[in-house]
């Protein structure tokens, strides 16, 4: 191998023997194997800056191209003596740091065709994320529309709406955390609010569920302990509530109607208990698996028992954090009270019964 120009030394092969022994003993981690591969000096780090390389079968065409190009670059640097595999295999901090920097420099430098690898890869990831988000919006909207159709008419309480909007205009004209948070979430200019009460209320209510401009949102001023200020902390909590959580809460309140409890603890419980298609999904999964395994003479009863056992194990691993979910909804209930969607006893009002589902329709509607 040396005669063939193999650059790997006894140090590397010793590390290879150690890693293979760990694999054989069943003690190796993915990180152990990845570190050993990187010690060749030609294997990219799994994470470079903000980019995470997917496994080879899952890489897009663009990611596959850039990964191959990066490997070629590392091979050139290795041949030029700029990368020391022995130092990498030994875990030398300086060598590992320089190896990472070599990759970061290449990822942030324009190629001959003008593309910057890091930029185009992150742009592609953003596009994939937005496509997945749009699909989640469409699914949530479809389920909400079906539920609203089942519930029937929910009359708009005009008097409550006008009174609520009069209070909102006073709150926003003033100062304080609630006014700042409403404006931040709604994306409105406090000096140029919509004249129409329905538009104003729905814009603010939709902002509570989906703060405007969250793609560009960055934490503002921090306090002396480097903690987020009150407004930023509230927005961070709201942004952590996902489609399923909002669908669970909106569905439960819509079905329950005025008077339904909407305290943060209750909203968390609604999320915990919400599973509209559980029975149908279990039946479909069991039938599909039974069909696939029919040639193995696996009885449906055995399959159902096996599936239930897997679900039990999954439930144990994924224990629902009810207190954590409650904390996420605390700023929501505060703003819902300001909006008049819930009363001082945290119970859904007729305005909230009409308006919250309409606001979620607005949040999940396709962009025009």
The predicted model gives 19-28 an average pLDDT of 71
Q: How many CB atoms lie within 10 A of CB 130?
A: 12
Q: Per-residue pLDDT averaged across 238-249, rounded?
A: 92
pLDDT at 203 over 70: yes
* Confidence category of residue 291, pLDDT binned at 50, 70, 90: low
Distance CA 121, CA 50 (A): 10
Q: Quick one: which of 15, 57, 336, 64 has its CA closest to 185?
A: 336
Cα-based angle 287, 289, 295 (whole degrees, multiple of 5): 105
Nearest Cα neighbor of 332 from 239, 254, 260 is 239
The CA distance from 222 to 89, in Å, is 42
- Please give the pLDDT value at position 15: 66
C-alpha 149, offset from chain centre: 29
List, in order, residues 6 or more apart from 201 with CB less than 8 Å away.
161, 164, 165, 168, 339, 351, 355
Residue 142 in this model has a pLDDT that exceeds 50? yes
Average pLDDT score, the chain: 81
Token pair for 170: 């006073």
Are the beta carbons of 328 and 204 closer than 8 angstroms?
A: no
Nearest partner of 333 among 238, 223, 231, 256, judged by Cα: 238
Q: What is the pLDDT of residue 10?
A: 61
The answer to whether 66 touches 56, Cβ cutoff 8 Å, is no
Domain ranges of the chain: 10-109, 158-273+323-364, 278-317
What pLDDT was estimated at residue 288?
Answer: 52
Can you tell me the mean pLDDT for 114-140?
Answer: 90
Does residue 249 surpass a pLDDT of 60?
yes
What is the C-alpha to C-alpha distance for residues 173 and 295, in angstroms, rounded to an integer? Answer: 71
Mean pLDDT of 99-115: 94
- 270 token code pair: 């609604």
Q: What angle do CA 211, 216, 219 make, to 5 degrees?
A: 80
Q: What angle do CA 187, 348, 319 make, to 5 degrees?
A: 85
Say how far apart CA 202 and CA 356 lie, in whole Å. Answer: 8
What pLDDT, on a 0 to 100 scale, did the predictor assign at position 316?
44
- Does pLDDT of 253 surpass 60? yes
- Least confident window among 112-116, 131-135, 316-320: 316-320
Query: What digits encode the pLDDT tens for the residues 31-76?
Result: 666 666 777 788 898 889 889 989 889 999 999 999 999 999 999 9
């Amino acid at each position: 191998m040396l005669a063939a120009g193999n650059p790997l030394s006894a140090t590397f092969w010793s590390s290879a023997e150690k890693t293979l022994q760990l694999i054989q003993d069943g003690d190796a981690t993915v990180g152990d194997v990845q570190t050993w591969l990187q010690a060749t000096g030609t294997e990219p780090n799994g994470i470079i800056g903000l980019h995470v390389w997917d496994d080879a079968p899952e890489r897009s065409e663009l990611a596959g191209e850039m990964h191959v190009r990066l490997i070629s670059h590392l091979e050139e640097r290795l041949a030029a003596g700029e990368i020391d595999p022995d130092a990498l295999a030994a875990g030398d901090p300086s060598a590992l740091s320089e190896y990472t920097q070599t990759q970061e420099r290449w990822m942030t430098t324009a190629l001959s065709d003008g593309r910057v690898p890091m930029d185009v890869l992150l742009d592609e990831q953003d596009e994939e994320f937005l496509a997945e988000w749009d699909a989640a919006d469409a699914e949530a909207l479809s389920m909400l529309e079906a539920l609203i159709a089942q519930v029937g008419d929910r009359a708009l309480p005009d008097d409550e709406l006008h009174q609520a909007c009069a209070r909102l205009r006073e709150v926003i004209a003033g100062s304080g955390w609630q006014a700042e948070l409403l404006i931040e979430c709604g994306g409105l200019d406090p000096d140029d609010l919509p004249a129409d009460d329905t538009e104003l209320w729905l814009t603010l209510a939709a902002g509570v569920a989906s703060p405007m401009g969250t793609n560009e949102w960055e934490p503002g001023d921090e306090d002396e302990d480097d903690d987020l200020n009150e407004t930023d902390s509230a927005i961070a909590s709201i942004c952590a509530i996902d489609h399923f959580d909002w669908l669970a809460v909106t569905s439960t309140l819509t079905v329950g109607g005025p008077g339904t409890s909407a305290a943060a603890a209750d909203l968390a419980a609604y999320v915990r208990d919400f599973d509209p298609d559980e029975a149908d999904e279990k039946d479909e999964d069991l039938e599909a698996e039974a069909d696939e395994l029919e040639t193995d003479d696996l009885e449906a009863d055995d399959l159902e028992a096996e599936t239930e056992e897997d679900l039990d194990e999954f439930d144990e691993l994924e224990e629902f954090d009810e207190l954590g979910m409650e904390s996420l909804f605390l700023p929501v209930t505060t703003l819902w009270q300001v909006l008049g969607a819930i009363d001082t006893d945290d119970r859904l009002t007729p305005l909230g019964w009409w308006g919250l589902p309409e606001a979620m329709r607005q949040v999940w509607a396709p962009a025009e």
